[in-house]
Chains A and B, each alone.
Chain A
Amino acid sequence: MTWSAAARGAHQPDNTAFTQQRLPAWQPLLSAGITLPLFFCAGLAFIGLGLGLYYSSNGIKELEYDYTGNPGTGNCSVCAALGEGRAPPPKCSCAWYFSLPELFPGPVYLYYELSNFYQNNRRYGVSRDDAQLSGLQSALRHPANECAPYQFSAAGLPIAPCGAIANSLFNDTFSLWHQRRPGGPYEEVQLDRTAIAWWTDYHVKFRNPPLVNGSLALAFRGTAPPPNWHRPVYELSPDPNNTGFVNQDFVVWMRTAALPTFRKLYARIRQGDYTAGLPRGAYRVNISYNYPVRAFGGHKLIIFSNISWMGGKNPFLGIAYLVVGSLCILVGFVMLVVYIRYQDQNDDDDDDDE
């Protein structure tokens, strides 16, 4: 309202459909009549989909082995016992022997799984410096405060890569050996360690700092590796295209998992004779056992799995679809009964009124 004696009165309202709230409108109604067929259709569709998903998930093979090394569980327990209470744990290696009675169809993926490891802990999750990892010079020298206590080394040098996530980089390594004939020699199966990280992470998000005199090592001069690392970041891999921050293992690790039990892709097997999968025979996985998990009650697993269009083995989706589909149909029937029964009753009521 204003002070002015503005003529408020004689304004005829606009006569549009909008102002009169008479816009043409579709007026749907969730009546039983409409939802019934929908329920039945949806139910049938879901059951069909669910069956498909379920069988597709069932077709996926998985082979897993817990190599944590709890006493009495294979030869990794030696390593586990060795590393008990010592930081850093001594170098140790153990092996896992298994045999495949038939072809393990490919492509075969090798995962490691950690449990009880809280990568999603907030203190842990923020303990990184994305600016540093994207190769920013200034961030290399001055890591973000979130990285503390892995921000500066004891000597006061900035840690690169800083933070708890990088510091706890998974450093067990695996190699797969195949014994074609019983008693024959073990031949190493080539593990393809490329493209295990997201393409965008590996190619865009993670960048090394600009080289100094063509050398990555010089670029990282004046920084310290994380306390738990045995080698500096520029020596993560002998491959010059896969070292520094732009290292597949490192990038994979830096994508923190959602849940305390998680898998990370270690390698793919698709080269040479193994394109079609792992053929029948005995296998050995050599494990260099470095990563302590028993301190926090965790487990380490190694998993071979093949992959379908829908990823790894996960019966959940199929079952969920089946359950929801059947529920829809069940509810549909209930509603049908109600509909038919009470329809009459409603009519009767109305007749009474009349």
Chain B
Amino acid sequence: MDLVLSTNSRGQHIIDQVLSTSPPHSQHMDLVLSTSPLHGQHMDLVLSTSPLHGQHMDLVLSTSSLQFSGAEVQDVGDMKEPELDLRQSTHEPAMCSSVWQCSLLHQYENLVLQWCAGEENWVDSRTIYVGHKEPPPGAEAYIPQRYPDNRIVSSKYTFWNFIPKNLFEQFRRIANFYFLIIFLVQLIIDTPTSPVTSGLPLFFVITVTAIKQGYEDWLRHKADNAMNQCPVHFIQHGKLVRKQSRKLRVGDIVMVKEDETFPCDLIFLSSNRADGTCHVTTASLDGESSHKTHYAVPDTKGFHTEEDVDRLHATIECEQPQPDLYKFVGRINVYNEQHDPVVRPLGSENLLLRGATLKNTEKIFGVAIYTGMETKMALNYQSKSQKRSAVEKSMNAFLIVYLCILISKALVNTVLKYVWQSEPFRDEPWYNQKTESERQRSLFLRAFTDFLAFMVLFNYIIPVSMYVTVEMQKFLGSYFITWDEDMFDEEMGEGPLVNTSDLNEELGQVEYIFTDKTGTLTENNMAFRECCIEGHVYVPHVVCNGQVLPDSAGIDMIDSSPGVSGKEREELFFRALCLCHTVQVKEDDHVDLGDGPGKSPDSAKSCVYISSSPDEVALVEGVQRLGFTYLRLKDNFMEILNRDNDLERFELLEVLSFDSVRRRMSVIVKSAAGEIYLFCKGADSSIFPRVIEGKVDQIRSRVERNAVEGLRTLCVAYKRLAPEEYEGACALLQAAKVALQDREKKLAEAYEQIEKDLVLLGATAVEDRLQEKAADTIEALQKAGIKVWVLTGDKMETAAATCYACKLFRRGTQLLELTTKRMEEQSLHDVLFELSKTVLRCSGSLTRDTFSGLSTDMHDYGLIIDGAALSLIMKPREDGSSSNYRELFLEICRNCSAVLCCRMAPLQKAQIVKLIKFSKEHPITLAIGDGANDVSMILEAHVGIGVIGKEGRQAARNSDYAIPKFKHLKKMLLVHGHFYYIRISELVQYFFYKNVCFIFPQFLYQFFCGFSQQTLYDTAYLTLYNISFTSLPILLYSLMEQHVSMDVLKRDPTLYRDIAKNALLRWRVFIYWTFLGVFDALVFFFGAYFMFENTPVTSNGQMFGNWTFGTLVFTVMVFTVTLKLALDTHYWTWINHFVIWGSLLFYIVFSLLWGGIIWPFLSYQRMYYVFIHMLSSGPSWLAIVLLIIVSLLPDVLKKVLCRQLWPTATEKTQNVQFQNHVSEFTPLTSLQSPSSQHPGCVVTPRGSFPRPVTCVFWRSEEYSALSPFPGLPAHCRSSVRLGCWGSDLETPRNGPGP
């Protein structure tokens, strides 16, 4: 028996081994026991045969105990002692020969008890009867588990539960709940406003949201139905039957044809191909369009027809569904009449996932194991945790302030009311008697209802429609990102994707960018540069744009020709490269290549290699140019074409696949001569320690040289395996592969054991070109005040070279190293303190520099840290002061303009992001990456951006936004982010402002109506103010506003600094807006008050009433609030005009209509002709105009003065832009420089400028933001600028720098 036991203490593992290695039927009880943890019902059996139980237990335990090492015993012994009464009754302690045996028994009993208690949840594996056939009698008697059918339900609601469920979900939002409460208060007590006023907006909001959600759900239903009803072929009694997909059950045998998608997760039984493989593309699952090969279970791959398959008698045991797409463990028991069942391991290569598509294979048979909502695809369809933007947080803070204001207003008014009413004639004058019941109500109750009534009266201060508007803005606004043509990548045919629209504005707030290197900064388009075999360097043809570069023709041997053994090594090296990979050859070319080996290596270039890793493709292609061509994998034989055009066949025995922890992969192959080789390739750091032979030093120096040049290096090593060694390795692997639990870990251990004592062959260097404009983008981002960190798994030298190439580090950058190498010399403590001293000294002088205005030549530090050093820093210190190093480290980082973290494991990337995210300034972080290894940091950062790259789509799927190229980040942040931030901050502030304007006059009115909660405005106005009179302009603003043009934002990244740190939503700004609102409210109210004070305002001497008063205030308010927005609008498209003037017009038309008709459904007619009468009075018009102007005046004044006295960079740019547009038409310039018609001004008409001249003019203009040309009069100047702006927008910046 060959057992590898994990240190996992669950009893099941022992059983696993027993099952897979022992002949089962002869020892019946063994099997019962072995399956018992999987299927609780057998516990009954065990219990009922309790006299036998202990004995068999002993048997099992004793057979397996031979294999236990001390550690395992320890582990088992550590197991918690279950407290069971059952134990005593069924087993005597004497039966347990040792402590651990005893506890093992306890473990089983624990399971027994759990089963008896009806807890099924512990069952973490399932058994499936293939074709619903019971296993042969005498095997095991399972009670089938219940599985869901194959119905996919992505919809949230059904027709019946939509209304209650949706309502419930909506009212769970605090704002909606607040309005519901207000509405209920209005219904219950006698309040000044009818329930309609808050009920209608709430209804509106709820309805709009419900419609949106309902629509989305309807779409989901439709998609679900399409999925659930699509026909599926499956086998019933040896015949092919068509059924709807949703009727599929676990255990059904399904037939899938080419280009169909799999209806559920299937275990691949057989395909029409003889080798039992099929090709699958998972484009719709993870976006990887490459074809992946899956393998049928070897014992069933011969079943090609329906009848054959129907004869199959097998059970499958596998884990319960879990969402990881790439992990699967299970095993299949195939029964046949003659022999004992055959047990085979099942892995993810046998599993066909729902959603994947069958390619290049006519048909396959498979058995359903996970159906419906248990498929891996469905499990993966889970919304990610909600990220909340900084804007949303400030919004909530403001809301709380307003809630406090609301409550204090209501309190103040309630108290004042009772103070004022203390004089009896005020409370109840003869003309206004109370009813009996009112009189009898207790004072406390009256005060409380009054308080509630005031709350209701002022409740509009918390804008009900803000949430809807914000949501709509985010939802609609995100379309501008997806529509953006500049971010559309022609090559890939992909544009940006928005997965979360909640974070649009966060894009404008980014302070730290964490970027992956490979595939993000670089193209991940690998080109084989050279290889080094035992110190000899080989450079293949470099094909560049179809041209062969002259200086690198053929194999360039730097050293003298290698000796015989060298020649042998060289060939071995090339073979290794040809064999040690997981590249597939695209099938289409398969036919062409199948002609035979008569083709020259160059002509075989037509074949297309596909791999999940571009490095591998580059290597295989590179080695092809060096003479060895990999042809295909056929029947487990890898065929390669050597230099002499001979076909060599190697049997592929094992693939020790790549993972990012090991950072290497191996294959075990058997040559035609019967020799067994292990070829291993991987990162130098993971190969060198395992090498026992070879020219390590030469190769290491070459590797390091290449790394400095920014090349990706891989080392290749091999080992010849003796047959018995291979047997051992094979057994080791097999054992690990069949394990149901911790298979990963066991495999890793097995790999570790096998991949050692290697012989180093050589190294390869692959170049990964920088993405276009990567340097430009990084430069722009740094100018925007964003700190860019590169996090990569690459070597330090490679990564540093890339950083130089993409201008993250510049020539003047002083590099600080915090690496393991340096820490060998000094302790971490010393290094950190030394670095911080350097950095802090510089930052001290830096602030002085900025004061003196000579900041151009500032010191610029770059930090390089590696994974090992980082984990040291992150590790808590023994003495408990864990944060000390972290703080120091953060301090250093803060003062560095660029940080490079190399040798990072995926989790460390996330750790770094987290570290910065929770540092004391709480900066907004952005992570960008393209690969699966970046997912953790993408999820961790405030904003996660996925690059739709070559390494599949995991990053893009898990990100908030996905972009095709790194360069698109520039527009994403600098333009879209900036815009969205400006837009949403205005939206939030404006909403609060307009509601202060709205409610504050009502508050003031209470002082004049005896605190009787009389409303100032009519119900219709109260209701419609937020939802129709003032809603659209701000929504439009928040979608369309561009305070500066896109080109300017792109050209001048420094503008981004203007909005950093949530600048537009600071408390100062918020208070300004609030006070502006209060001021405006005072103006409206007292303006109207003095207007109405005791005098008729019409020429016929008639008097106006209170509703006219309110309408006047309201009219002024609607106009002021709308015009305030108009003042803030910098970008007036026809839509803005339409909406702003349209909504004012709508207000007027509505008011005319509302007052012009006696509405039969109203119980009161207080607004009848009020508006029209108001307009018939001259002074009303005058007052309206005056009050609007007075209300707007301070804001205009503030704007103009601030712009003049303390202009922000944005405002300066606006000025320049503005002058360019209109200087010829405004009196401004003539005011500034009176000689607008300067006789001496001779300017060539624009467009006819010679180009260099344009640039010169440009530059001088750029630095003089507001200033005119000293020499040139304004008129000339403007035309010069127009020439510049119109002709070439990119040139000036990219031209000669300052």
Interface residues of A, Cβ cutoff 8 Å to B: 1-5, 8-15, 19-37, 42, 46, 49, 53, 87, 107, 109, 111, 113, 117-125, 127-128, 130-131, 134, 144, 148-150, 164, 167-168, 195-198, 200-201, 204-205, 252, 255-265, 268, 292, 295-297, 305, 307-314, 316-317, 320-321, 324, 327-328, 331, 335, 338-339, 342-343, 346-347, 350-354
Nearest residue in A to B1104 (C-beta to C-beta)? A258
B 1100-1126 binary contact with A (CB < 8 Å = 1; else 0): 111111101110000000000000000
CA distance A148 to B435 in the complex (A): 6
CA distance A90 to B102 in the complex (A): 109
* A351 and B1200 within 8 A (CB): no
Interface size for B (C-beta < 8 A) is 125
* B1089 and A36 within 8 A (CB): no
Nearest residue in B to A267 (C-beta to C-beta)? B1101
B1190 interface contact, C-beta 8 A: yes
Residues in chain B near residue A8, CB distance under 8 A = 497
Nearest residue in B to A14 (C-beta to C-beta)? B483
* A347 and B1264 within 8 A (CB): yes
CA distance A86 to B1173 in the complex (A): 40
B355 interface contact, C-beta 8 A: yes
Distance in angstroms from B1086 CB to nearest chain A CB is 10
CA distance A113 to B1097 in the complex (A): 15
CA distance A149 to B440 in the complex (A): 14
A sample of 5 more A-B contacts (CB under 8 A), given A30-B1203, A130-B1164, A197-B1102, is: A13-B485, A27-B1132, A109-B1096, A168-B430, A259-B1094
* B1097 and A311 within 8 A (CB): yes
Nearest residue in A to B1227 (C-beta to C-beta)? A37
* A263 and B493 within 8 A (CB): no
Residues in chain A near residue B1106, CB distance under 8 A = 119-120, 125, 256-259
Which of B429, B488, B492, B1046 makes the CB contact (< 8 A) with A13? B488
Assuming the contacts A33-B1228, A197-B1102, A257-B1105, asked whether A28 and B226 have C-beta atoms less than 8 A apart, the reply is: no
Distance in angstroms from B473 CB to nearest chain A CB is 14
CA distance A9 to B964 in the complex (A): 11
Residues in chain B near residue A321, CB distance under 8 A = 1182, 1186
A-B contact count (CB 8 A): 328
Nearest residue in A to B1016 (C-beta to C-beta)? A258
Assuming the contacts A13-B484, A292-B430, asked whether A260 and B435 have C-beta atoms less than 8 A apart, the reply is: no
Binds A, one of B121-129, B1022-1030, B1210-1218: B1210-1218
Which of A1, A10, A256, A265 makes the CB contact (< 8 A) with B493? A10
Nearest residue in B to A348 (C-beta to C-beta)? B1267
* B1266 and A347 within 8 A (CB): yes
Residues in chain B near residue A134, CB distance under 8 A = 1158, 1165
Q: Which of B1222-1273 contact A (CB under 8 A)?
A: 1226-1229, 1231-1232, 1260, 1263-1268
Residue of B485, B1042, B1087 most packed against chain A (CB within 10 A) = B485
B 416-438 binary contact with A (CB < 8 Å = 1; else 0): 00000000011001111111100
* B1183 and A198 within 8 A (CB): no
Residues in chain A near residue B1092, CB distance under 8 A = 258-259
Distance in angstroms from A5 CB to nearest chain B CB is 3
Residues in chain A near residue B434, CB distance under 8 A = 123, 149
Assuming the contacts A13-B495, A32-B1203, asked whether A316 and B1090 have C-beta atoms less than 8 A apart, the reply is: yes
Which of A1, A130, A316 makes the CB contact (< 8 A) with B1091? A316
Assuming the contacts A121-B1012, A265-B1102, asked whether A149 and B283 have C-beta atoms less than 8 A apart, the reply is: no
* A295 and B425 within 8 A (CB): yes
* A331 and B1096 within 8 A (CB): no
* A23 and B1200 within 8 A (CB): no
- Can you offer 13 A-B residue contacts whose CB atoms are under 8 A? A1-B381, A2-B222, A10-B493, A19-B483, A20-B483, A31-B1203, A123-B432, A149-B434, A149-B436, A263-B1094, A295-B425, A342-B1204, A353-B1263
Residues in chain B near residue A32, CB distance under 8 A = 1200, 1203-1204
Distance in angstroms from A21 CB to nearest chain B CB is 6
Assuming the contacts A49-B1182, A296-B426, asked whether A117 and B1101 have C-beta atoms less than 8 A apart, the reply is: no
* B1204 and A339 within 8 A (CB): yes
Residues in chain A near residue B1099, CB distance under 8 A = 307-311
B1199 interface contact, C-beta 8 A: yes
CA distance A123 to B1183 in the complex (A): 30
Residues in chain B near residue A347, CB distance under 8 A = 1264, 1266-1268
Distance in angstroms from B521 CB to nearest chain A CB is 23
Nearest residue in B to A60 (C-beta to C-beta)? B1095
CA distance A107 to B1102 in the complex (A): 13
Residues in chain A near residue B497, CB distance under 8 A = 8
Distance in angstroms from A34 CB to nearest chain B CB is 6
Nearest residue in A to B357 (C-beta to C-beta)? A5
B1168 interface contact, C-beta 8 A: yes
Q: Which of B1040-1069 contact A (CB under 8 A)?
A: 1040, 1042, 1045-1046
**List of 9 A-B pairs having minimum Cβ-Cβ separation, nearest first:** A33-B1228, A5-B284, A168-B431, A258-B1109, A2-B223, A19-B483, A258-B1106, A312-B1095, A347-B1267
* A33 and B1231 within 8 A (CB): yes
Nearest residue in B to A167 (C-beta to C-beta)? B431
Nearest residue in B to A115 (C-beta to C-beta)? B1094
Distance in angstroms from B1113 CB to nearest chain A CB is 10
